[in-house]
Amino acid sequence: MRVLVQAAVAAALAVVGVYAADEKSNVESLTTASFGKWVAAEPLALVEFFAPWCGHCQALAPHYEEAATELLSSGVKLAKVDCTQEESLCTEQEISGFPTLKVFRHGKATPYAGTRKKEGIVSYMLKQQLPAVSKVTPDTLEDLKTKDRFVLVGYIDPSDKASAEALHKYAEEHRDAYVVGVSHDKDLAAKSGATFPSLVAYRTFDEPEVVHKDKGAALTVDEIDAFVAIESLPLIDEVSAENFAKYAMSGLPLAYYFVEPESPTRAEEVKKLAQVAKDVRGKLNMVWIDALKFGSHGKALNLKGDQWPAFVVQDMENGAKYPLELGKDIVGSVKSFVHQFVNGKLKPSVKSAPIPEKQGPVIEVVADEFDKYVFDDNRDVLLELYAPWCGHCKNLAPTYAKLAEAYAASPDTSKHVSIVKMDGTANDVPPHADITLSGFPTLLLKPAGKGERTFVQYGGDRSLESLIEFVSTKGSHKLAPKAGATESATAHDEL
């Protein structure tokens, strides 16, 4: 115990150095006494609520300090509150985890939704400082373009109320993500090759200006959304936890190039792959990813996980995976592969565990036999998706076995109801099953019926009685085990 205490004290002392008072710091340290007056006086500020022992807080500290310094010229201030010292203030602010960041406008707080890197903090706070839609003139355009890597300007005729309304609606919904402006200057539009109504993306990557000319009478929100979803992402960029959400939200398939960062050929290969990405722009997104740091993600995408570089496409809508066996000509093989993918000529890779030699009352399903057992038209099928390491799954196992035994006890119920399970870590759910697996265990009922492919998700308690009620009420056959079957299964289990 003493060793643990000494280690904890040593760690705490080391951390204090990270947050120790520094005369050169541009992050204001707030206390219960100074907090209210300080946040009330600031038109826009960011406050971090932290604990010195928190590892995530330690990782954030240098980024937070650098962001505070960079934002000084913009008049945006950053502050911090040590919740181990200011407990009452943090309780009042409803702080339940560390670090928690909040944006304050004259004392009114809203959650911070940006990243925890310096660039992300700066970008997010500059967007907060701007109106949802900034008015753009020849004198202000260049300054607006410096506010972010991607800046969207709508060039709209003053009389075009529909386009203006669509742009404002889009900007309000995405003000945390994008800098948006509007201009009614026809000559300024012409300098970017735009006419009324048009959208122009000003970027610090790829082509610096991209124009979208409206094909109809006015811009629409969907039209703006589609343009931004494609043009706000580089042709190929490194993907990480900081920017993955943008790719996921785009709705497009994501092609990963797994490569070791220090590979002497990485930069050149990525440059060449950018041209491949340009050919399929708008049909899929392409990224490169640190194979050493995210090798486990590669395995989850059905790559071997120990041979780099590697390439795989993932359909972000249904989770389907398309790994490529790279040849010596990396760019050539990737180009051919992605074109086959966008033309619908590839079949997804579906990971499957070996087919069991024997089955018990609970049928063990693998991906290769998913349709055989789960999409059985004649049966109500209760499917459990589980993980061997999942504690909740282990707790459910005895009850699930009793349920299967009870339904297997009579010819009538065994003929019309199947109780099955599948290891969600050793098997892929086939894309055509249209199942979103968000955790373990997941319980789904596929009712009997010709061509029936819909699932009813179970959300009740995991008692035997509740599971029987679910199957017997939601299933097409409305069958419960025969009287005495559950008692027999329980007694057998106890023996």
Residues assigned a catalytic role? 54, 57, 390, 393
Listed residue (400, 380, 406) closest to 440, CA to CA: 400
Q: What is the DSSP letter of 107?
A: T
Q: What is the DSSP letter of 43?
A: S
Count Cβ atoms below 10 Å from residue 451 Cβ, excluding itself.
6
Listed residue (56, 53, 99) closest to 79, CA to CA: 99
Question: Do 456 and 475 meet the contact criterion of CB atoms below 8 Å apart?
Answer: no
Count Cβ atoms below 10 Å from residue 50 Cβ, excluding itself.
27
Listed residue (319, 313, 323) closest to 430, CA to CA: 319
The Cα 207–Cα 209 span in angstroms is 6
Tokens of 472: 């017997």
Tokens of 103: 């944006």
The Cα 231–Cα 202 span in angstroms is 10
SS3 (DSSP) at 421: strand
The Cα 444–Cα 204 span in angstroms is 47
- Helix, strand and coil in the chain, % to nearest 5: 40, 20, 40
Question: Do 288 and 257 meet the contact criterion of CB atoms below 8 Å apart?
Answer: yes
The Cα 407–Cα 173 span in angstroms is 51
Q: Which residue has the tokens 């609970």?
A: 362
Amino acid at 291: A
SS3 (DSSP) at 104: strand
How far lies 85's CA from each of 64, 80, 90, 170, 400, in Å? 20, 12, 9, 42, 49
Amino acid at 401: A
Return the beta strands (E) in 347-441 as ranges.
Answer: 363-364, 380-386, 417-423
**Bridge partner residues of 453 (DSSP):** none
